[in-house]
A and B are shown apart, each in its own frame.
Chain A
Amino acid sequence: SQQGEEDPQALSIQEGENATMNCSYKTSINNLQWYRQNSGRGLVHLILIRSNEREKHSGRLRVTLDTSKKSSSLLITASRAADTASYFCATDRNTDKLIFGTGTRLQVFP
């Protein structure tokens, strides 16, 4: 069963705007990760946030984690056409397995 559910399922924005995607999960976790998938390609790791962290930054990416609400958000600032992709959250419970959500499809128009 899916652990994570992303919201929205699809998002369309203009270049320069910010994009926010949300992920909700069902059980306690150890880490939460975000991955990007360009069309026809494998997933690429973006950022990992641990359960004892609340916010993390990496370049134009900002991830927040609220363990009390079992949710995370991924913010991409000043989006570019090259950010067009699907974004997935993935959680683990101190095991060697990740459970992926169903993803958000982001379209950034030039």
Chain B
Amino acid sequence: DAGITQSPRHKVTETGTPVTLRCHQTENHRYMYWYRQDPGHGLRLIHYSYGVKDTDKGEVSDGYSVSRSKTEDFLLTLESATSSQTSVYFCAISEPRREGTDTQYFGPGTRLTVL
């Protein structure tokens, strides 16, 4: 978890409310990722960023948006939270390699419950 923090670590919210999760890194890594982890599904990529203001969708991006205005911060927003978005959310960082992706380093996770 070194160099990567996520806030909040736990959040309970109600259906229909907006929620923003923050990932902050001190490693100056170029790539940042948001995943969700659910029982039986492993980790699934929501969105990722390959630089400031450069983002792209992952496998399960519907209902989520992201922003990256600084190298160190990557925000994940649920515009109108639904119960299906109850999950544990992980942020990860990596540096690009010439041959495929490099090791990813993960934050401690945010447990989100949508009632």
Q: Chain A interface (Cβ within 8 Å of chain B)?
A: 1-2, 4, 30-31, 33, 40-45, 48, 50, 88, 90, 92-103
Interface string of B82-105 (1 = CB under 8 A from A): 000000001010101001110111
Contact of A42 among B42, B48, B90, B101 (CB under 8 A): B90
Which chain B residue has the least Cβ–Cβ distance from A5? B42
List B contacts of A94 (CB < 8 A). 99-100
B45 within 8 A of A: yes
- Given A88-B42, A88-B43, A97-B58, decide whether A31 and B1 contact each other with a Cβ distance below 8 A: no
In the complex, are the beta carbons of A45 and B104 less than 8 A apart? yes
A103 near B42 with CB under 8 A, answer yes
Q: Which of B4, B41, B104 has the most CB of A within 10 A?
A: B104
Known contacts A42-B108, A43-B90, A44-B106, A96 near B101 by CB under 8 Å: yes
A5 to B90, CA, bound (A): 20
Asked if residues B100 and A30 are in contact (CB atoms below 8 Å), the reply is yes
How many residues in B have their beta carbons less than 8 Å from beta carbons of A? 29
Closest 5 CB pairs of A and B: A42-B106, A30-B100, A100-B43, A102-B42, A45-B103
Binding site for A on B (CB under 8 A): 1, 4, 31, 33, 35, 40-45, 48, 50, 58-59, 90, 92, 94, 96, 99-101, 103-109
Residue from the list B31, B42, B103 in contact with A96, Cβ < 8 A: B31
Q: B42 to A97, Cβ gap below 8 A? A: no
Contact B42 A48 (CB under 8 A): no
| A41→B106 CA distance, assembly (Å) | 9
A40 to B110, CA, bound (A): 10
Tell me, in angstroms, the Cα distance from A71 to B26 when the chains sit together.
35
A101 & B42 in contact (Cβ 8 Å cutoff): yes
Most buried by A among B1, B41, B42, B58: B42
* Complex contacts, A50 vs chain B, CB 8 Å: 99
Are B108 and A41 touching (Cβ within 8 A)?
yes
